Amino acid sequence: MNTPPQTQPQKRPIIFSAMQPTSGSGGGLTIGNYIGALKNWVELQKDYDCVYGVVDLHALTIHPEPAALRKQTLDVAAMYIASGIDPEKSLVFLQSHVPAHAQCAWLLNCFASMGECQKMTQFKEKSEKHSARVGLFTYPVLQAADILLYQANLVPVGEDQKQHLELSRNLAERFNHHYSETFTVPEVFIPKVGARVMSLQDPTKKMSKSDENPKATIFLTDSADEIRNKIKRAVTDSGSEIRSGDDRPALTNLLELYGVATGTSVEAAEQHFLGKGYAEFKAELADAMVAMVEPITKRFHAIRNDKAALNAILKKGAEEANRRAMRTLRKAYKKMGLVELE
């Protein structure tokens, strides 16, 4: 009797994304990181082969305090999992555990031009604040290595990373053209909803984990009381209507947050709050924020307190990431003419 043909499991497109464990003065991840990135990363697990790194080598460019870097690297990994990234489905690892990232960055450094690195907005901005190190200059080349090593098809990032992604694409194309097809040329993917969560104190500025004003940012580890207080003190626009619009940046941001946290549209939220005042709106928004953040915080503490389990996840992630990254690195070495011993 004929056995039915073995159906090959369909190869799913590959996603790569990553976050730095520290930026500026440090602090943990924010609801901006969750809404703008992690929430989408979790969704993408359904249809893609996802690789999520914690890019600790990138963080070294601004000289974080070693103990803080160590702590925050593990915090970010735990927060990935607390947000819903399933290490059984997706690859979660620390960049410094996979030497191929630094090795591949070197290969790509030999392809990147001074000019294209010099024109990167992030480099220009950061080199004004810190005395410019070479690491900051080649930061986007290391980022390209992160992505290209996993042959990623799609890279979900915030708007601000578009330029870095363009460099990754150019480097991949240049390498492929010079030798032969080696790296997949990745596409940038910028999610529309929640692409920019703004500061609660200045709605023209992005909410950031390194904001000097702690009232501006809701951290994923904030208590319910802290969240309620920050929402209560959030700046609003003049007038008393709960309405969004270009002339109402503060309310637009708060209504978008309400929409994301309750799964409703901004229009539906405006309808819901028609004729109601700021106090009532803020109380409901605070409830919705707490309901969104609290389960994440709880899972985060549970994961962070089980050191052995987190270690095991990161060890397994590193092994698999090394296996996949080395396959690409070896291919690139060979094409470039580096000797491989039998």
Listed in sequence order, the residues at least 6 apart from 254 whose beta carbon sits closer than 8 Å to its beta carbon are 231, 234, 236, 281, 282, 285
Q: Please confirm, yes or no, whether 206 is among the known catalytic residues.
A: yes
Hey, is 249 helix, strand or coil?
A: helix
Helices (H), the chain: 31-33, 39-44, 56-59, 66-83, 100-109, 114-118, 121-129, 134-137, 139-149, 162-178, 224-232, 249-262, 266-272, 278-305, 307-336
206 near ligand AMP, judged by CB under 6 A: yes
3-state secondary structure 290-339: HHHHHHHHHHHHHHHHCHHHHHHHHHHHHHHHHHHHHHHHHHHHHHHCCC
146 near ligand TRP, judged by CB under 6 A: yes
300 near ligand TRP, judged by CB under 6 A: no
- The arrangement of strands across the sheet holding 154-156 comes to 91-94, 49-54, 14-19, 154-156, 187-189
Pairing of strands 154-156, 91-94: unpaired
Instruction: Give one DSSP letter per residue of 208-239, joined into a string.
Output: -TT-S-GGG--BTT--HHHHHHHHHT----SS
16 near ligand TRP, judged by CB under 6 A: yes
85 near ligand TRP, judged by CB under 6 A: no
157 near ligand AMP, judged by CB under 6 A: yes
Choosing from 14, 18, 231, 296, the residue that interacts with ligand TRP (CB under 6 A) is 18
- What does the alpha-carbon distance between residue 337 and residue 286 come to, in Å, rounded to a whole number? 59
- Whether 92 contacts 317, CB under 8 Å: yes
37 near ligand AMP, judged by CB under 6 A: yes
**Residue closer to ligand AMP (CB basis): 197 or 288:** 197
**Residue closer to ligand TRP (CB basis): 140 or 259:** 140
**Residue closer to ligand AMP (CB basis): 218 or 332:** 218
**Residue closer to ligand TRP (CB basis): 56 or 270:** 56
- From the list 71, 206, 276, 331, the catalytic residue is 206
14 near ligand AMP, judged by CB under 6 A: no
Q: If contact means CB under 5 to 8 A according to the sort of partner, which of ligand TRP, ligand AMP, none does residue 209 touch?
A: ligand AMP
- Whether 217 contacts 209, CB under 8 Å: yes
58 near ligand TRP, judged by CB under 6 A: yes
254 near ligand AMP, judged by CB under 6 A: no
Q: Among candidates 185, 189, 159, 190, which has minimal Cα distance to 173?
A: 185
CB of 22 to ligand AMP, least distance (A): 9
- What does the alpha-carbon distance between residue 310 and residue 204 come to, in Å, rounded to a whole number? 38
Q: Please confirm, yes or no, whether 232 is among the known catalytic residues.
A: no
Q: What is the CA radius of gyration of the chain?
A: 22
Q: If contact means CB under 5 to 8 A according to the sort of partner, which of ligand AMP, ligand TRP, none does residue 146 touch?
A: ligand TRP
Candidates 120-128, 190-198, 294-302, 316-324 — which segment interacts with ligand AMP by CB under 6 A? 190-198
- What does the alpha-carbon distance between residue 31 and residue 131 come to, in Å, rounded to a whole number? 30
**Residue closer to ligand AMP (CB basis): 33 or 328:** 33
269 near ligand AMP, judged by CB under 6 A: no
207 near ligand AMP, judged by CB under 6 A: yes
**Residue closer to ligand AMP (CB basis): 20 or 168:** 20
20 near ligand AMP, judged by CB under 6 A: yes
Residues found near ligand AMP in the complex (CB under 6 A): 19-20, 23, 32-33, 36-37, 157-158, 195-197, 206-209
Question: Which residues are catalytic, by number?
Answer: 126, 206, 209
Residues found near ligand TRP in the complex (CB under 6 A): 16-20, 55, 58, 143, 146-147, 155, 157, 161, 164
